[in-house]
Amino acid sequence: MLSMLLILLEAAGIAKLGAGIGAGLAAVGAGLGIGLIGGNFMDAIARQPEAVGDLRSNMIIAAALVEGVAFFALIVCVLILFL
């Protein structure tokens, strides 16, 4: 009985570790993704300054999608942590 309880407590600790690692990876991935979007946006503006309006709207949409995926990943990690 005691060994079963210890196994469950160890599994809970591993789940919390996994949730923390997952949240960190989600944040790093979102930061890298938005950094790449911004860098490529600046390159595109340097090549075609007249297309700033279209490029800006596409960049905002892409950054919002990256942030949405990162937010979803963080919510999943929090759910794993508390459930």
pTM, full prediction: 0.76
pLDDT reported for residue 16: 84
Whole-angstrom distance, CA of residue 70 vs CA of residue 25: 9
Residue ranges per structural domain of the chain: 2-82
**Residues 2-48 pLDDT 10s:** 677 677 767 778 878 888 888 889 899 999 999 999 999 999 999 99
So what's the pLDDT on residue 2?
Answer: 64
| pLDDT tens by residue, 47-79 | 999 999 999 999 999 999 999 999 998 898 888
32-70-79 Cα angle (round to 5)? 140
The CATH code of the domain at 2-82 is 1.20.20.10
Backbone phi, then psi, for 48, in 5-degree steps?
-135, 85
Asked if 80 and 19 touch (Cβ cutoff 8 Å), the reply is yes
